[in-house]
Structure 1
Amino acid sequence: MYGSQNHKRMLEMFEKELGRDRDDGFEIEPDVPSGDDNDNDNDEQQSNQPPKKRSYRRHTQHQIQEMEVFFKHCPHPDDKQRKELGLQLGLEPLQVKFWFQNKRTQLKVQSEREENEFLKAEIEKLRSEMNRYKEAISNTTCHLCGTPATVGEMSYEEQQLRLENALLRKEIERLAEDATESHTNISSTQTSNQLVVSRSVDVGNGKYNINNGMVGEAYGGNGELVRSIQLQGVEDKRKIVELAVLGMDELTKLALANGNNLWLPNNNLNTEILNEDEYVRHFPRATAPKPLGLRTDGSRESVVVIMNHINLIDILMDVNRWSSMFSGVVSRAVTLKVLSTGVAGNYNGALQVMSAEFQVPSPFVPSRENYFVRYCKLHVDGVWAVVDVSLDSLRPAASGSSTASRTQRRPSGCFIQELPNGYSKVTWIEHVEVDDKMVQNIYKPLVDSGLAYGAKRWVAILQRQCERLACSMSSNMPTGNLGVIMSVEGRKSMLNLAERMVTSFSTSIGDSTIHAWTSLPSNGPEDIRVMTKKYNDEPGSGRPTGVVLSTVTSFWLPVPPKRLFDFLRNQNSRSQWDILSSGGIVQEMAHIANGHDPGNCVSLLRVNSPNIGQSNMLILQESSTDITGSYVIYAPVDMAAMNVVLNGGDSNCVALLPSGFAIVPDGSGPNGGPIPDLLSGGSLLTVAFHILVDSVTNARLALGSVTTVNTLIKSTVERIKVAVIPNIT
């Protein structure tokens, strides 16, 4: 009895030590075979026999080493393998079986012990992290009021905002890294102050007084602008990236907003205007106290254009192509810094710091100068967005710009969605805070209505220009009246020449920091302004060499814009207002349609004048119209140079000095409301001439030249009034 109890006590002690290393050579013969084996050894143990006393045998070192080697390759030997191994080592098969069983148990216990230690360490780590989170949550304060808050007190909207903040923070960090890398790459190939300018600017050396027989000379350039807005380093770049990301987020929400009262319908203009109260409620972080004297102007417009979305993105991100396409509203544009070029192969993530002036085609409406970052992003496949975000907060106070304090640009831009067959849907948003006190009274209704600077004007120009580009890129000769144009190359060359003429005219008739208009004394109601420009001899520039005198005036006519446009563009009525063709026969030699509206076209006119010196004069003319305004622009051209163009040659060989007309609605109808189209109401007409008065660049401008140009524009204005206003006295 005593021996049996002692045996049990020894067995329990041994089982406690089962996890220890038992490679000391001892072997235990258990009463019951292990369940891990699939052996049929029941005949070796008789259940009706009394339990045998366990025997302990020490294996030799050689036996242990051999079984260890065998165990690595086969931890579960079968009967045959146990017999062979027993014969080889001088052991019974049952001894071999027990050793392998004990070895497997040992490894299992050892593995479980290691896993337990690892899990204990993980539990301690999680417990420590949980304690830190508890402490952080207990110290959480509201980011608006500063009072303590808990997660349970957060609204669903606040949780969503925090999630958005996290996503925006990641995007800011990514763009900041891209901007740093891109700036490093760009700096290796160009100096930090190098600019990309949309069009060359001829800079004069001074300003003249009309009392001395001279008039204002074109001045300006980009020197003052660059000095006033140089970036101050990495910190400024990070601020720019943050503003761009937040601006893109705001533009996306504004573009996709539907049914939440952010946008209110404007039935007069068939467009949408921004609800300021709802805007402040939806974007509390984006709004700041509006400077005194500024009014908010926000509008949204959608349109389908005939242009692939990728090509449209390429135009918007190229300062030259963008300013040329929107030359009617963009008078000057400069890329100051490229922070990121985007991913390889497209503009996704591209960041450009830019400055631009936006204009109405009249010197009587001050231009709007903006300093901003342009950010392009691919939202989903086939959907892009381009946003402009103001950087005026980074501009030093003493910038020297007369217009810097008059305009603040909120996130504005466009959402572009791919459509089948090369079309795109564009949703345009314009949102500014502006001081319009300097706008002359006759233009105030137009500016206030949104037809001057709003989203409707941008999409109207975009739609018309896309039609123009589609016509110019067509490889098939149309069946219309092409006249003397005999090839596709000749048609394209003529369209390129007309585009240069339109861009030159459109960017030279408005108010701008690079224009120095001088008012002439006038006995009539019109305010006539003049300016001189000096052009040096630059081959291929497309400009004549010498001193050019520009003169412009704007006035109101009680005639619908459509009627006035048709009168000015028709060659049959040209002799009624054009002094140079007065008494002559005007013949259209070539005609190229530029869109669905018959008023959008390019023409080559021949004037057969009875004056021998004016015989066979050629005039290149382009007329264009949309719901927000119309242009009739023309320039005399040399016949020999024009023949080169008609045969498909380089259009830059033709020197141009464009003149013409810009027509916009007067902005007020019979009941004082805005005019939604060009078919009714009155018109605001701008007349502009550019005349070469001397072929010597350093020549002084004679007062007689100013008098002649003054007489020319007054006579043209009077002729137009007599022709279009019935019963004029």
Structure 2
Amino acid sequence: MEGHGEMGLIGENFDSGLLGRMREDEYESRSGSENFDGASGDDLDAGDDQPQNKKKKYHRHTPQQIQELESFFKECPHPDEKQRSDLSKRLGLENKQVKFWFQNRRTQMKTQLERHENMILRQENEKLRAENSVMKEAMANPICSNCGGPAIPGQISMEEHQIRIENARLKEELTRVCTLANKFLGRPLSALANMALPSPNSSLELGIGRNGIVSGSSNFGMSMPMGFNMGDGVMGTPPTHSGMTHSGMRSPMGMMGNDAQQERTMLIDLAIAAMDELIKMSQPDCPLWMKSSEGGKEVLNHEEYARSGSPFTNPKPNGYVTEATKETGLLIINSVALVETLLDADRWTEMFPCMIARAVTLDVISSGMGGSRNGALQVMHSEIQLPSPLVPVRQYSVLRFCKQHAEGVWVVVDVSIDIGRNTANGNPYMSCRRLPSGCVLQDMPNGLCKITWVDHSQYDESAVHQIYRPLVNSGLAFGAHRWVATLQRQCECLAILMSTMPSEDPTAINQAGRRSMLKLAQRMTDYFWSGVCPSTACKWDILHISNMGNSDMKIMSRKHQDNSGESTSIVLSAATSVWLPVSRQRVFDFLREARLRGEWDVLTGGGPMQEMVHIPKGQSLGNSVCILRGNNASNGNEGNVLYLQDSWTDSSGSMIVYSPINMQSLNMVMNGGDSSFISLLPSGFSILPDGHSNNNCVGTSNDGSGNGGSDNNDSGGCLLTAGIQMLLNNLQTSKLTMESVDAVNALITCTIQKVKDALGVA
């Protein structure tokens, strides 16, 4: 045969160059490229009268005939009579010639396949012989698995001796793994008996030595049937220099080998203990909680907690105080979707934009098992903020552990990774730590989810300003109530954004425009928080000015880059907080009302403003993104001032943020265009309860609305934070001047005074 016949049957090992002669019944053929004038093969016609002992002449087919026959053979190795007749007419061959060619071709193919199979069998045989030789050599010189020295077999054979040692070791490891998996997953041991273990060579290996001691160099690595993907580096990520992670932060697990495995075991044990404690504390009518006399909220009974035998009742560091809160509510989201959000640092930050300044996943110990998040365990770093320059940002490095407690019930727990290591007093940079905290999620009918949130933290009270200590101590600042209220409001906003109900207003913004507007408003709000609560998310230079009259004023600066990436100016930010003897609801209604804006905003020229665009974010009228237009601009050009304003309110607080915006950018965003390049200069207010008893009675609604029911009971005082950002064009020196600092200080002081005068505060 001159063609190779690419059959695709046995891949690259197919012997397509085999052209040996085959003899059968004293007739010869040349691998299908040649044929005879008479009968051949194993399929002779019984009616042939030709003598069987007469050797026929060769008939060499042309290359075109061979190509046609090979092509047909690929499609149909066993042609019928009609197909052979068609081929013979088309190729100018006799019917028998075509028939014999296919017979010989099939015989040749069979021979090739047999040769290939024989070759594979020979290779396997040689491999088995080599392994047998190695095993014989090992048996001739046995090594004790315990001491590493020569083994001295006794009355039993060497094979039985080795098997007994191996079985004893495996029983120890299986007992430990089953116990740990039972606590970790909440499954009975019988369920693990039928669980298939992964291959010992997989990346799930966790070397567990005898007597429960973790061994980094164990020769008997057993795979964990729990979904732990330990990886090859530190905590499942590639090792970095000096324990630094990809985020630029020092990982608490910056170690290798035996120390790394011991660290993993400690973290797993800590996560399991934290999960057990959270489940116990989240139970209804748990004796660890009691109703407070002020507002009826559930507060931790510290005496009962100390007697509970919890492993987290160790003495807190010097100067620390404890806050523990519990809150229950309904969410417009299902439990699985919320679990995915909590385990993704970026999505978690987006769900709590006013609370989380920055979040990053440091290490992933386990991403879950069975394609779900059950058993997911990771190390996260987060910075939690309260919108005031007088309360420092809380930085946590926690273990986040997720477990499916039952069908439709998920539990997510956080716990600081340094709990139980007595490192708090020796770490001057740590001002807070998180005891077991988190949420229990239970799916409810109609797509709702019941959430029970527990927050248990310890913090250094001396870092908090005096006027904010009642709010922080009450748990309203960083506690469960604020987490649930924020989550309810965000879920409601997402539900409204996803709705596609047609509007009868021809001027209404389409779905793409609404999304673009909300995205721009969120970016504006993030910029505002960064200028009020300095964190690592945005680099600001804090200015320490000793001769400033208001010591509670925080002034910071940063360089501003235009679209070309060049620093051409400086942004100056000033923020301060004051207490007002006015209800939070009244202050919020006054500041967000466009018609009253001229009473406090000196940049509008003292005139009212008009609301041009209104995009709702919730059932409350105050939860919206708006475009405001000035009707009496200071320069005399009517309608020349445009503001993008974002506002929201719930039972935990209220916020109003605004920024100037030009008409060209506004039109582009309203049409669904990209808003990422639009420059923003945000200013605004946050309004929080003051934490006193007559202000703590505001509860979280259970209807999933996120409005906290009503703020009608929100009497007493509130804490008002005002922040202003100014752009200073200083192209020549690119330096701040004292005149600029005095100007921004005077502007924010004047704004607060105008708010007080308008509200009748002396």
Structure 1 stretch 469-478 or stretch 696-705: which is displaced more?
696-705
Aligned partner letter, 1:552? A
How many residues are matched?
535
Q: Within 5 Å, give how 1:632-711 maps onto structure 2.
A: 632-669=656-693, 679-694=714-729, 699-711=734-746
Query: How has the CA–CA distance of structure 1 residues 178 and 645 changed in structure 2, closer, same or farther, with 3 Å as cutoff?
Result: same
Q: 1:374 maps to what in 2? A: 400
Determine whether 1:338 maps to 2:353: no
CA contact (8 A) 2:642 2:661 kept: yes
CA contact (8 A) 1:520 1:527 kept: no
Query: How has the CA–CA distance of structure 1 residues 293 and 686 changed in structure 2, closer, same or farther, with 3 Å as cutoff?
Result: same
Deviations 1:696-718 (A, max 9, x none): 59821222221211111111111
Q: Distance in 1 between matches of 2:383 and 2:343?
A: 17
Q: 1:326 maps to what in 2? A: 352
Q: 2:391 maps to what in 1? A: 365
Q: Distance in 2 between matches of 1:575 and 1:647?
A: 30
CA contact (8 A) 2:233 2:239 kept: no
Structure 1 stretch 185-194 or stretch 229-238: which is displaced more?
185-194
Q: 2:342 maps to what in 1? A: 316
Deviations 1:396-430 (A, max 9, x none): 959997541x2221110111111222211111010
Structure 1 stretch 300-309 or stretch 686-695: which is displaced more?
686-695
Aligned partner letter, 2:353? S
CA contact (8 A) 1:553 1:686 kept: yes
Query: How has the CA–CA distance of structure 1 residues 367 and 614 changed in structure 2, closer, same or farther, with 3 Å as cutoff?
Result: farther
Q: Distance in 2 between matches of 1:651 and 1:462?
A: 25
Determine whether 1:350 maps to 2:373: no
The Cα of 1:184 is off from its aligned counterpart by 8.6
Deviations 1:86-123 (A, max 9, x none): xxxxxxxxxxxxxxxxxxxxxxxxxxxxxxxxxxxxxx
CA contact (8 A) 1:272 1:300 kept: yes
CA contact (8 A) 1:305 1:462 kept: yes
Coordinate RMSD, CA, aligned: 3.5
Determine whether 1:300 maps to 2:350: no
CA contact (8 A) 1:364 1:511 kept: no
The Cα of 1:384 is off from its aligned counterpart by 0.9
Determine whether 1:592 maps to 2:607: no
Structure 1 stretch 395-404 or stretch 234-243: which is displaced more?
395-404
The Cα of 1:331 is off from its aligned counterpart by 2.1
Determine whether 1:531 maps to 2:553: no
Query: How has the CA–CA distance of structure 1 residues 186 and 580 changed in structure 2, closer, same or farther, with 3 Å as cutoff?
Result: same
CA contact (8 A) 2:364 2:379 kept: yes
Secondary structure at the aligned position of 1:691 is classed as: strand
The Cα of 1:446 is off from its aligned counterpart by 0.9
The Cα of 1:305 is off from its aligned counterpart by 1.0
Q: 2:290 maps to what in 1? A: 264
CA contact (8 A) 1:445 1:674 kept: no
Aligned partner letter, 1:686? T
Q: Distance in 2 between matches of 1:576 and 1:276?
A: 48
The Cα of 1:288 is off from its aligned counterpart by 1.7
CA contact (8 A) 1:327 1:503 kept: yes
Query: How has the CA–CA distance of structure 1 residues 595 and 400 changed in structure 2, closer, same or farther, with 3 Å as cutoff?
Result: farther
Q: Within 5 Å, give how 1:69-88 maps onto structure 2.
A: none
The Cα of 1:519 is off from its aligned counterpart by 5.1
Q: 1:473 maps to what in 2? A: 498
Secondary structure at the aligned position of 2:621 is classed as: coil
Q: 1:450 maps to what in 2? A: 475
Query: How has the CA–CA distance of structure 1 residues 483 and 180 changed in structure 2, closer, same or farther, with 3 Å as cutoff?
Result: same
Determine whether 1:235 maps to 2:295: no
Q: Distance in 1 between matches of 2:582 and 2:468?
A: 16
- 2:516 counterpart (484, 493, 512): 493
Secondary structure at the aligned position of 1:492 is classed as: helix
Aligned partner letter, 1:434? Y
Query: How has the CA–CA distance of structure 1 residues 637 and 697 changed in structure 2, closer, same or farther, with 3 Å as cutoff?
Result: farther
Q: Distance in 2 between matches of 1:545 and 1:470?
A: 41
CA contact (8 A) 2:296 2:697 kept: no
Q: Distance in 2 between matches of 1:320 and 1:166?
A: 30
Q: 1:564 maps to what in 2? A: 587
CA contact (8 A) 2:236 2:363 kept: no
- 2:456 counterpart (419, 431, 449): 431
CA contact (8 A) 1:365 1:440 kept: yes
Aligned partner letter, 1:666? D
CA contact (8 A) 1:340 1:351 kept: yes
Secondary structure at the aligned position of 2:250 is classed as: helix
The Cα of 1:461 is off from its aligned counterpart by 0.8
The Cα of 1:388 is off from its aligned counterpart by 0.6
Secondary structure at the aligned position of 1:602 is classed as: strand
Deviations 1:280-323 (A, max 9, x none): 33343332222233222111101101112222112211111212
Q: 1:717 maps to what in 2? A: 752
Structure 1 segments unaligned to the other structure (5+ residues): 1-127, 133-162, 197-222
Determine whether 1:167 maps to 2:182: yes
Q: 1:244 maps to what in 2? A: 271
TM-score (normalizing by structure 1):
0.67
Greater RCO, 1 or 2 (C-alpha within 8 Å, sep 6+) = 1
The Cα of 1:177 is off from its aligned counterpart by 6.4
Q: 2:230 maps to what in 1? A: 180
Secondary structure at the aligned position of 2:369 is classed as: coil
Q: 1:254 maps to what in 2? A: 281
CA contact (8 A) 2:234 2:254 kept: no
The Cα of 1:582 is off from its aligned counterpart by 2.2
Q: Distance in 1 between matches of 2:619 and 2:240?
A: 45
CA contact (8 A) 2:626 2:644 kept: yes
Q: Distance in 1 between matches of 2:358 and 2:478?
A: 15
Query: How has the CA–CA distance of structure 1 residues 286 and 445 changed in structure 2, closer, same or farther, with 3 Å as cutoff?
Result: closer
Determine whether 1:414 maps to 2:439: yes
Q: Distance in 1 between matches of 2:292 and 2:615?
A: 36
CA contact (8 A) 1:546 1:697 kept: no
Secondary structure at the aligned position of 1:295 is classed as: strand
Secondary structure at the aligned position of 1:559 is classed as: coil
Q: Report the structure, 1 or 2, having the larger helix content.
A: 1
CA contact (8 A) 1:236 1:394 kept: no
Structure 1 stretch 557-566 or stretch 330-339: which is displaced more?
330-339
CA contact (8 A) 1:327 1:506 kept: no
Deviations 1:206-252 (A, max 9, x none): xxxxxxxxxxxxxxxxx5x4267635522212211221122112111
Deviations 1:242-293 (A, max 9, x none): 211221121112112x334111123534431122222233343332222233
Q: 1:152 maps to what in 2? A: none
- 1:601 counterpart (587, 609, 624): 624
Deviations 1:4-25 (A, max 9, x none): xxxxxxxxxxxxxxxxxxxxxx
The Cα of 1:537 is off from its aligned counterpart by 4.7
The Cα of 1:600 is off from its aligned counterpart by 0.8
Deviations 1:50-81 (A, max 9, x none): xxxxxxxxxxxxxxxxxxxxxxxxxxxxxxxx
- 1:385 counterpart (407, 411, 415): 411
The Cα of 1:431 is off from its aligned counterpart by 0.5
Q: Within 5 Å, give how 1:511-526 maps onto structure 2.
A: 512=535, 517-518=542-543, 520=545
Secondary structure at the aligned position of 1:361 is classed as: coil
Q: Distance in 2 between matches of 1:558 and 1:532?
A: 32
The Cα of 1:674 is off from its aligned counterpart by 7.0
CA contact (8 A) 1:519 1:527 kept: no
The Cα of 1:354 is off from its aligned counterpart by 1.2
Q: Distance in 2 between matches of 1:569 and 1:673?
A: 23
The Cα of 1:595 is off from its aligned counterpart by 1.0
Structure 1 stretch 431-440 or stretch 277-286: which is displaced more?
277-286
Task: From the CA coordinates, give the structure whose radius of gyration is larger.
Answer: 1
CA contact (8 A) 2:390 2:552 kept: no
